[in-house]
Every structure is written in C-alpha cells, then in structure tokens.
Amino acid sequence: MSEHSLFEDAIKQLDQAGELAKVDPEVLARLRHPKAIMQVSIPVRMDDGTLQVFEGYRVQHDSTRGPTKGGIRYHPDVSLDEVKALAFWMTCKCAVVDIPYGGAKGGIIVNPKDLSRMELEKLSRGFVDRMADFIGPDTDIPAPDVYTNAMIMGWMMNEYSNIQRKSTPAVITGKPIALGGSLGRDDATGRGAYYCIKELERKRKWEPTQITVAVQGFGNAGQHVARLLHADGYRIVAVSDSRGAIYREEGFDIPSLIKFKNESRQLKAVYCEGSVCELVESQNITNEALLELDVDLLIPAALENQITLDNAKDIKAQVIVEVANGPVSSDANKVLIEKHKLIVPDILANAGGVTVSYFEWVQNRAGFYWTVDEVHHRLQAIMSRSFGEVYDIMDEHLTDMRTAAYTLAIKRIGDAISAGGTRQYFNGDQK
Ligand code: GLU
C-alpha cells in the first residue's frame, strides 16, 4: 500500500461529493484528518514458549456526531493507512444511516488462522489492555470486522470489564448473545445489503428468478446476503472464498454451500439433504474471473481494492452492491460510472452491521433486550429509508449513488460541526 494510499483514495471520494454538497470547506478540511491514532505492540507468549510481538492500531476518525464506532480487523495485510481509510468510511457510514456515532477502526497485523485459540485469546485481551484508556461506551466502541467474531468480542468485553472492575457490555458490540449481544447482529451486514437490494428490486421491477448474482467472499457478510437472496429465488451462479471461486449456470443451493463451508472450512459445489452432501457439477474459476462474469448483480463481499483500473473495463454486471468496504478504487469507480453501472456504495450497502451494533449498544445501556423480529423490523426501516434518501439525492442531482451517499453524509456531519458555532462567532453572528 505504500505507493498507493487507500486513505488518499478514500478522501478523493469525499472531495468529489464536497463540490456537490456545497458544504463549508472547513468541514471537508476537518474530515481529511483523523482525530486520533493509536499504535500499540502486543507481546504474546505463544504455545511453544516463544514470545511474539504483534502490531495493532486504532484510528478514531471523527466524533462530532457521537462516540466513534467501528470494527477491529485481524489480517496479515493490515496497515495504518488501511485502518485510516476504514475509520473514515465508518464516519460517513454512520452519518448515511443517521445513527449517533462518529467513525473509528482498529486492526492487528496477524493471520488469525495461524494462531491457536489460546494464542488468539491472549492477543485479543492484550489489545484491549493497550487500548483500555482510549475505548469506552461513551468514547469509542469496537466491533467485529474481517476475521474477527463474536467470541473475540466476548473476550475483549470481559477484559475491559476486568480493567474497569465493573461489567461494561456497551464497550463493544457483536458479542455472543450470552454476554449481552443482540439477536440479529450475526447476519446484520448481509441483511442490510439484502434490504437495499429489495428496494432496488422494487425500483427496477426485477423478477428475482430472472436475476443472476455473483458473490465474491463467503464470510459472514457474503454468506448471509447470498442466503437471503437465494431464499427469494435469485440465482446465485458464483461464489468465492480466499482460495478461489465456483461457478454454475443453474445456480447453487446456498444453504448447502454454507453448511459445508462452515463444517469443513472449504467452499465446494455441493447439494445437501440432511447431513449427506453430494458434489454437483460446477466450474472452478478464479476470484478475478468471478468479478468479470456476465451476471446482473455483482456483490463484492471480501476486501478492498478488488475492482481497479486493471479490471474495471471488463466488469459486465450492470449493478454492483458493495458489501465489502472499499472494493472499488476511485479510478475504477469513474470507469464504471462512465459505463452507466449502478453502484450501491459500501457506506450504504454494508451499514446494516453497524446499525444493529447500535441496537446492541442501546439494549446494553437500557438493560432491556429486543426480539429478533424487532431488530429486523427496525433494521429494515433504517436501511429502506436511507436507501430512499440516497436514491433521491442521486436523481435530484443527476449524479451517481456513491456521490449521493457522501453528499448526504457530509451534509449531516457538516450540520453537526456548524452547530458547534465557532465560525459564526468570527463572522460577527453571535446570536
Ligand atoms: N466492521 C463493520 C463495518 O465495517 C461493523 C462495525 C460496527 O459494527 O461497529 O461496518
């Protein structure tokens, strides 16, 4: 990432929308710089007795609209630049869906698949030990992200509570249900994207059985959006994980794929009846080839920078729903817009995760817990409303959906910054 900065690329999106939103340039100037950056080292005694020191980060991007919020990622490619970009997107995402948070993100440079469970627990507790003075229910609230899960959030909440000497469930979201997690948080990111697609279905008068879909990434977000779309009759013709992709023109039985993947950690073209799974005919293709398939709907649900100038011109799908954060580079975005693709941007399409995180935090603070139907109902209301608001701005300004989403976000952040009032004071308007 040294020659190509993901953060700089993300800021370009802000500048583009800044022109359209006609916001005070001071707002944009504020958003170009993260509020605070923490870098820590975490020594871990490994199972073989050796000591390994891991590097971790937490970036708090902006807290004007509320405490900062965002996940913690465990990945070998984590870098400070990446975490800054992800924190910036969280600020914008929370503003798009209008939940009372700013944005943050954390990350540790590690491949968690190489660690035993005990090593992973020590690393996670060690990270919280280092971060304990910077996070908290009213300051900065972490959550899961790529390669982190409910179990890790449980350890982190427990460690933070031990340090504070009081039970503090609202310090972190995405926890196990038994430790104060919310029903419906597990599939919230995929479900939020699904609600966006249902809005699109209404607008474009889609008949689901006629729509072909390719999903890149079969982790928490990708699996659930595929499952929900499949249940409605959409034809999911390709899916992939980090090792490669499978393609089948007739479409896959997604519940079988999920069952097999979660039991064996392998993505295989299977059809399962009860516990018996049989292979079905399919083609093995690469992740790159999956992106270029001639499908109606492409869902990148893996990592950032998957569609770049190198492959943008080869993308055939007419609609792209960004379930991953930052899957399309800003240069590639331009190419796709020129080709009249509709891109539902990450800061809207994957906001379901943080929205149910917000519900979890509200429930923790109230000490009163909701049913799963209540969570789904409220999530749908927020996603549908936000989708409609972004879509209307797009129509009104004859722009693309990403610029429209940023326009909405910086308008809301700008209103909050202006409400601070220092600028008016110097303008002579002291009322
Ligand atoms: N990591 C998720 C995201 O990128 C969820 C963040 C949260 O729940 O705070 O939106």
Q: 402 and 20 in contact (C-beta within 8 Å)?
A: no
pLDDT for 45 equals 98
Cα separation values, 4 from 1, 81, 84, Å: 5, 10, 14
Q: Is 216 in the pocket of ligand 1 (CB under 6 A)?
A: no
User: Could you tell me the residue ranges of all domains in the chain?
Assistant: 35-166, 188-349
Which atom of ligand 1 lies nearest, measured to the CA of 350?
10
Q: What percent of the chain has pLDDT over 70?
A: 97
Cα separation values, 89 from 93, 154, 191, 321, 359, Å: 6, 25, 19, 16, 20
Residue 282 alpha carbon to ligand 1 centre in Å: 33
Bridge partners, residue 38, by sequence: 58
Q: Tell me the mean pLDDT in the region 146-151.
A: 96
Cα atoms found within 13 Å of the Cα of residue 280, Cβ hemisphere only: 21
Per-residue pLDDT for 361 more than 80? yes
Per-residue pLDDT for 401 more than 60? yes
Per-residue pLDDT for 232 more than 90? yes
Q: Tell me the mean pLDDT in the region 267-290.
A: 95
Candidates 3.40.50.1820, 3.40.50.720, 3.40.50.1970, 3.40.50.300; correct CATH number of 188-349?
3.40.50.720
Residue 420: pLDDT band with limits 50, 70, 90: confident
Per-residue pLDDT for 186 more than 50? yes
Per-residue pLDDT for 427 more than 80? no
Per CATH, domain 35-166 is 3.40.50.10860:
yes
Residue 247: pLDDT band with limits 50, 70, 90: very high
Q: Is 402 in the pocket of ligand 1 (CB under 6 A)?
A: no
Q: Tell me the mean pLDDT in the region 401-409.
A: 96
Residue 354 alpha carbon to ligand 1 centre in Å: 5
Task: Output 18 or 122, whichever has higher pLDDT.
Answer: 122
Element housing 164 (H / E): helix 150-164
Residue 47 structure tokens: 């199972």
Residues classed as catalytic = 105
Per-residue pLDDT for 423 more than 90? no
Q: Is 212 in the pocket of ligand 1 (CB under 6 A)?
A: no
Q: One fold for both 35-166 and 188-349?
A: yes
* pTM of the full structure: 0.95
Average pLDDT, the chain: 95
Dump pLDDT digits (tens) for 9-65. Answer: 999 888 888 888 778 888 899 999 999 999 999 999 999 999 999 999 999 999 999
Q: Is 357 in the pocket of ligand 1 (CB under 6 A)?
A: yes
Residue 352 alpha carbon to ligand 1 centre in Å: 8
Residue 1: pLDDT band with limits 50, 70, 90: very low
